């Protein structure tokens, strides 16, 4: 399909109102159309499961499962698939765990085993950005924290990188992401789906008029007052402030690297340290709080940091 035909298809899909799953299937059926096709497929997916979500940008598990199933049923070129997944993860405010986990598995498979359009052992700039979105994805109102499962995926990827085939940005991403796992806490700065929905309902509720107030009073119906509606937003804000205070206390504890964490780290490091692993150990030495345990000092010496 020519780029002009892709443009016509885009106008047809986005010019008629709400995007549907049938629209996604129409774009999915197109083959060999180049970057314009990849961009359209990504834009339709984002509009369908991110922007049209309720509330917007809060992706639900059902829609994530549908998207994963569609990709399984219609295998895509790696570049097209990763562009779609990266944009979806980037745009969402809250995601079910399944979608970032699926994206990580697809990237890991391409790097370790290779795909038709992605040689094994190569970690390029496209992979680094996709990894960044997946490991820091805003999962169910908890973001900016790298779980142990994700950190272990990053170690397997680091070990699979072929000499001379790894984008320099990967080392920094690896060091910061695994360092985040060891010294970070789950950031909950995004409202939960329930809180977001409650706040949107409040924002979209018209203020009660004097006529409504009198009608409710004389019919003995309990109508919300302006203060009642205001309280919804205030309660949501108060919950966020309480979470921020709790996270500050958690961070003070988490910024140390403990012996158990050091044992896990040592068990994952390769015998001949990769440049990413050396970058990680240098990052830990510079950023961690408190005195490192003796076993971690040994790792620092091994890395020459």
The reply to whether 124 falls in a domain is no
The reply to whether 258 falls in a domain is no
Q: Is the pLDDT of residue 213 over 50?
A: no
Label residue 246 by pLDDT band (50, 70, 90): low
The reply to whether 44 falls in a domain is no
Domain that holds residue 238: 193-242
The reply to whether 234 falls in a domain is yes
The reply to whether 133 falls in a domain is no
Average pLDDT estimate for 285-304: 94
Q: How far is CA 156 from CA 70, 148, 276, 303, in A?
A: 27, 12, 12, 19
Nearest to 135 by CA among 155, 112, 115, 159: 155
Average pLDDT estimate for 254-279: 94
Q: Count how many domains the chain has.
A: 1
The reply to whether 77 falls in a domain is no
Backbone angles phi, psi at 45, to 5 degrees: -60, -45
Q: Output the DSSP codes for 146-189.
A: --HHHHHHHHHHHHHPPTT-B-THHHHHHHHHHHHHHH---B--
Both tokens of residue 193?
Answer: 């789906």
Residue reference for tokens 């060891």: 182
Which has the minimum average pLDDT: 81-90, 124-133, 201-210, 272-281?
201-210
CA angle in degrees (0–180, nearest 5) for 70-21-15: 135
Average pLDDT estimate for 2-28: 93
Average pLDDT estimate for 3-29: 94
> How high is the mean pLDDT of the chain?
86
Q: Which has the higher per-residue pLDDT, 140 or 273?
A: 273
The reply to whether 210 falls in a domain is yes
């Amino acid at each position: 399909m020519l780029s002009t035909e892709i443009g016509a298809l885009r106008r047809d899909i986005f010019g008629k109102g709400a995007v549907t799953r049938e629209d996604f299937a129409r774009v999915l059926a197109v083959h060999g159309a180049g970057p314009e096709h990849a961009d359209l497929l990504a834009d339709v997916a984002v509009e369908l499961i991110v922007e049209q979500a309720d509330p917007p940008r809060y992706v639900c598990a059902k829609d994530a499962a549908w998207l994963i199933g569609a990709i399984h049923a219609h295998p895509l070129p790696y570049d097209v698939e990763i562009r779609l997944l990266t944009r979806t993860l980037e745009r969402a405010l809250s995601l079910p765990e399944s979608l970032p986990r699926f994206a990580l598995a697809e990237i890991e498979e391409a790097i370790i085993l290779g795909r038709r359009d992605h040689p094994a052992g190569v970690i390029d700039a496209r992979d680094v950005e996709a990894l960044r979105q997946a490991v820091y994805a805003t999962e169910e109102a908890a973001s900016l924290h790298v779980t142990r499962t994700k950190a272990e995926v990053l170690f397997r990827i680091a070990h699979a990188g072929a000499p001379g085939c790894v984008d320099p940005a990967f080392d920094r991403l690896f060091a910061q992401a695994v360092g985040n796992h060891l010294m970070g806490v789950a950031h909950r700065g995004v409202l939960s789906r329930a809180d977001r929905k409650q706040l949107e309902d409040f924002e979209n509720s018209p203020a009660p008029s004097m006529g409504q107030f009198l009608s409710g009073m004389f019919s003995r119906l309990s109508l919300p007052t302006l203060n009642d509606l205001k309280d919804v937003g205030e309660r949501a804000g108060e919950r966020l402030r309480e979470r921020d205070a709790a996270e500050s206390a958690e961070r003070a504890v988490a910024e140390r690297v403990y012996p158990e964490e050091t044992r896990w780290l040592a068990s994952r490091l390769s015998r001949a340290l990769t440049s990413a692993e050396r970058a990680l150990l240098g990052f830990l030495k510079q950023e961690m709080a408190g005195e490192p345990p003796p076993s971690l000092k040994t790792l620092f010496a091994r890395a020459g940091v």
